Amino acid sequence: MNPQAPAMPSRYSRITGTGSHLPPRRLSNADMAAMLAERGLETSDEWIVERTGIRARHFAAEGVNASDLALPAAQAALQAAGRTADDVDLIIVATSTPDMVFPSTACILQNRLGANGCAAFDLQAVCSGFVYALTVADSMIRAGTAKCALVVGAEVFSRILDFNDRTTCVLFGDGAGAVVLEASEEPGILATELHADGKHVGILCVPGTVSGGSVLGDPLLKMDGQAVFKLAVGVLDSAARAVLAKAGRTEADVDWLIPHQANIRIMQSTAKKLKLPPEKLVVTVDEHGNTSAASVPLALDAAVRSGRVQRGDTVLLEGVGGGFTWGAVLLDF
- Helices 264-273 and 45-52, interaxial angle, to 10°? 20
Grouping H, G, I as helix, E, B as strand and the rest as coil, residue 22 is coil
User: Side chain identity at 218, as an amino acid letter?
Assistant: D
Q: What is the Cα–Cα distance from 25 to 71, expressed in whole angstroms?
A: 17
Q: Known catalytic residue: 260?
A: yes
Contact at 8 Å (CB) between 159 and 165? no
Residue 299 sits at the vertex; the CA angle it makes with 331 and 262, to the nearest 5 degrees, is 105
Q: What is the Cα–Cα distance from 179 to 164, expressed in whole angstroms?
A: 35
Q: Which of 29, 65, 263, 290 does the annotation list as catalytic?
A: 290
Residues in the chain: 333
Contact at 8 Å (CB) between 219 and 212? no
Contact at 8 Å (CB) between 299 and 265? no
Q: Known catalytic residue: 148?
A: no
Q: Known catalytic residue: 127?
A: yes
The whole-angstrom distance between residue 191's C-alpha and the CA centroid of its chain comes to 17
Half-sphere exposure of residue 61: CA atoms within 13 angstroms, side-chain side: 4
The whole-angstrom distance between residue 28's C-alpha and the CA centroid of its chain comes to 22
What is the DSSP code (8-state) at residue 4? T
Q: Which of 205, 260, 263, 288 does the annotation list as catalytic?
A: 260
Q: Which of 127, 148, 169, 205 does the annotation list as catalytic?
A: 127
Contact at 8 Å (CB) between 290 and 157? yes
Q: Pairing relation of β-strands 314-321 and 256-259?
A: parallel
Grouping H, G, I as helix, E, B as strand and the rest as coil, residue 101 is coil
Which residues are catalytic, by number?
127, 260, 290
